[in-house]
Amino acid sequence: MDQPRAKETARDATEQVGKAANEAVQRVGAQVQPALDQGKSMVQDLANQASEVGEQAVGRAAELLQNVAPQAKEVASNLYERGSQSGEYVRQYAVEQPLTALLIAGRSRVRARLSNPPALNIAGRSGAEQAAPGR
């Protein structure tokens, strides 16, 4: 076989392989396309459902906040009022019984100090003792 004829035969073979490959790709594409379409539809459905669930959750949260906010405001107001009343009671007691009030306040500070003693360093001295040199 001469060289031009061999080139022509190779070209023909290449064209036939290309046509066969194109036909195979088209057949596979035709077989796969329904599955791709179905998958796309499923993904869209799931996205729509997720969006609906999210919207419902936001709506319920907003309802809950609207229902709870007035109650929380009322509780906070009551606590503030009771705290103010307690403070006023303590103030009046201190005016009427100053010595007793001082003793109670001192006892409370001692108790607080005993329940939360200052931290000691390795040498066994507290931070206040370390700050005062020469002790």
Task: Flag whether 119 is in a domain.
Answer: no
CB 95 within 8 A of CB 105: no
Task: Flag whether 59 is in a domain.
Answer: yes
Task: Flag whether 35 is in a domain.
Answer: yes
User: Could you list the residue range(s) of the whole structural domain that residue 90 is in?
Assistant: 7-114
How would you write the pLDDT of the chain (135 residues) with one tens digit per residue?
A: 578 888 888 888 888 888 888 888 888 888 888 888 888 888 888 888 988 988 998 888 888 888 888 888 888 899 989 988 888 888 888 888 888 888 888 877 777 777 777 666 565 555 555 555 554
Task: Flag whether 129 is in a domain.
Answer: no
Could you tell me which residues come within 8 angstroms of residue 135 by beta carbon, excluding any fewer than 6 positions away? 129
The pLDDT score that the predictor gives to residue 123 is: 57
Task: Flag whether 128 is in a domain.
Answer: no
Task: Flag whether 43 is in a domain.
Answer: yes
**Cα-based distances in Å from 130 to 55, 116, 134:** 61, 18, 9
User: What's the pTM value of the predicted model, to 2 decimals?
Assistant: 0.37
Task: Flag whether 99 is in a domain.
Answer: yes
**What secondary structure does DSSP assign to 33-67, as a single string?**
HHHHHHHHHHHHHHHHHHHHHHHHHHHHHHHHHHH
Number of structural domains (the chain) is 1
Could you tell me which residues come within 8 angstroms of residue 47 by beta carbon, excluding any fewer than 6 positions away? none
